[in-house]
């Protein structure tokens, strides 16, 4: 799964990197080093491909009676995303880019008694887009002002870098295919072709502070590399 990620790049750099000229919705965005489910983060919707916008992590399908389902839908398995009732409509009509510059997974020790948090980034250090789905939802009979945007991150089996760390990883879209994910102009087969592990040789992983375990901690010290000595 993907349960925490980072987005520390500033708005201007994100707008330039992802060709998004509309940034009003995210002005004042601060660097984030421990984004967790049920928190807001930056996405680009297929309906507004030139706009950075905020949405809450944890998908709420439009047919859901209440918001409690969101905590169960922070990830969508890429192998079944087109068929599952919670995701199939969004997969066809409401895809998004989930912007990040790193994500965390917890690697089990050899004896299975402890876990080390690992920060995984692109080797280049640049921001990237995870394949996502979005929905707009509001409680039944609530006023129009209560519409909220939510999203989920699509995951897939691990590449060679990730396999010793975790059995799933987010789908990271190649830079040249991000716009295709939003507006393919083709069919379902082509979208499925993008749901694959990112090349391991273009990624990097390092151990980081166990302070990331708490969602209350969200500062730049979380992403500093930890030696075995400071992990003990």
| SS3 annotation, 58-82 | CCCCCCCCCHHHHHHCCEEECCCCC
Given the residues 96, 105, 135, 178, the one annotated as active site: 105
Angstrom distance (rounded) from CA 51 to CA 176:
18
**Which segments of the chain are extended strands (E)?**
5-7, 32-35, 40-45, 53-57, 75-77, 95-100, 102-108, 115-122, 128-137, 148-156, 169-170, 203-207
Catalytic, 96? Answer no
- List the catalytic residue out of 2, 96, 135, 178: 2
The yes-or-no answer on residue 105 being catalytic is yes
Kindly list the catalytic residues: 2, 105
């Amino acid at each position: 799964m993907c349960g925490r990620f980072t987005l520390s790049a500033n708005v201007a750099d994100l707008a330039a990197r992802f060709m998004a000229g509309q940034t009003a919705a995210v002005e004042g965005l601060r660097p984030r080093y421990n984004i967790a489910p049920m928190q807001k983060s930056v996405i680009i919707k297929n309906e507004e491909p030139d706009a950075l916008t905020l949405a809450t992590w944890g998908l709420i399908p439009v047919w859901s009676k209440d918001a409690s389902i969101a905590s169960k839908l922070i990830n969508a398995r890429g192998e079944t995303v087109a068929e599952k009732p919670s995701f199939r409509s969004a997969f066809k009509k409401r895809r998004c880019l989930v912007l990040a510059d790193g994500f965390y997974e917890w690697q089990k020790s050899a004896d299975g008694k402890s876990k080390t948090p690992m920060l995984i980034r692109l080797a280049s250090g640049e921001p990237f887009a995870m394949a996502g789905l979005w929905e707009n939802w509001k409680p039944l009979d609530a006023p129009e002002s209560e519409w909220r945007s939510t999203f989920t991150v699509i995951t897939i089996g691990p590449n060679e870098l990730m396999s010793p760390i975790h059995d799933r990883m987010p789908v990271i879209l190649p830079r040249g295919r991000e716009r295709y994910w939003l507006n393919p102009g083709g069919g379902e087969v082509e979208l499925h072709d993008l749901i694959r592990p990112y090349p391991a040789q273009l990624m990097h992983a390092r151990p980081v502070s166990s302070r990331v375990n708490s969602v209350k901690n969200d500062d730049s010290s979380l992403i500093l590399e930890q030696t075995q000595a400071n992990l003990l």
